[in-house]
């Protein structure tokens, strides 16, 4: 399976039958306690970054929805000091990338962005939310699939290797606190599309 096939598989765009239920941005608030557990029990700090991945539609209504997401994030920027940008990767996926030193602000801003897409009628275009962490061993991510309604861990290492032991430790520690994807074959990696530190780069 190639990288693009892996992305399509994990994000659920290959078939509607992959979906468990409707996209629910309320699930993202599970990270409000999970990041504390990550820090206290596992020694992970927030990497001060998160992102929302979505697939585009060539229509005026969709462009207006993206503009509405941007307007909402701009309106909250003064209060939360959450920086953001909207970008596209090499595979044609779109990302709302947020940066903030306060994990709660990141979670809230990602929720607002996802909820706006749903209110505008484009919930089916939401693919994943990605939350970035790091410790002395390297980065780790919690990836939330909107189609599957579940999180899974991703601990990338150099050379396109994964730290499976770190991923399983994340799963065992956060099980019960997050809705975790129980089909491990769906724990597909989200490698950067170019040389970079994060899946959206």
- CATH value of 3-186 in 3.40.190.10, 3.40.720.10, 3.20.20.70, 3.30.70.1130: 3.30.70.1130
Residue found by looking up tokens 């959206």 in the block: 200
Handedness of CA 173, 174, 176, 181 (dihedral sign): negative
Q: Hey, what are 113's tokens?
A: 């962005």
pLDDT tens profile 138-190:
999 999 999 899 999 999 998 889 999 999 999 999 999 999 999 999 998 99
Query: 44: closest CA among 139, 164, 152, 154?
Result: 139
- pTM assigned to the model: 0.88
Q: What is the model's pLDDT at position 156? A: 94
Q: Could you give the CA distance from residue 83 to residue 74 in angstroms, rounded to a whole number?
A: 9
pLDDT at residue 54 greater than cutoff 80:
yes
What are phi and psi for residue 62, nearest 5 degrees? -70, -40
pLDDT tens profile 77-86:
888 899 999 9
Facing residues of 132 across strands?
Answer: 141
Q: Strand runs (DSSP E) across 81-185, as ranges?
A: 83-88, 94-99, 126-135, 138-145, 150-154, 156-157, 161-162
Residue found by looking up tokens 């399976």 in the block: 1
């Amino acid at each position: 399976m190639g990288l693009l096939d892996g992305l399509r598989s994990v994000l659920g765009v290959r078939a509607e039958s992959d979906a468990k239920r409707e996209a629910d941005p309320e699930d993202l608030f599970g990270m409000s306690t999970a990041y504390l557990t990550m820090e206290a029990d596992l020694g992970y700090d927030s990497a001060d970054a998160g992102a929302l991945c979505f697939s585009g539609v060539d229509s005026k209504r969709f462009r207006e929805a993206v503009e509405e997401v941007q307007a909402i994030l701009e309106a909250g920027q003064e209060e939360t000091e959450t920086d953001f940008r909207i970008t596209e990767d090499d595979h044609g996926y779109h990302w709302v990338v947020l940066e903030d030193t306060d994990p709660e602000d990141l979670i809230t801003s990602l929720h607002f962005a996802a909820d706006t897409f749903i209110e505008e009628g484009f919930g089916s275009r939401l693919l994943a939310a990605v939350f970035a962490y790091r410790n002395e061993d390297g980065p780790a991510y919690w990836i939330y699939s909107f189609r599957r309604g579940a999180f899974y861990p991703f601990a990338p290492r150099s050379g396109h290797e994964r730290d499976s032991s770190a991923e399983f430790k994340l799963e065992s520690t956060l099980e019960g606190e997050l809705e975790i994807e129980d089909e491990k074959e769906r724990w597909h990696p989200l490698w950067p599309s170019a040389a970079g530190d994060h899946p959206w780069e």
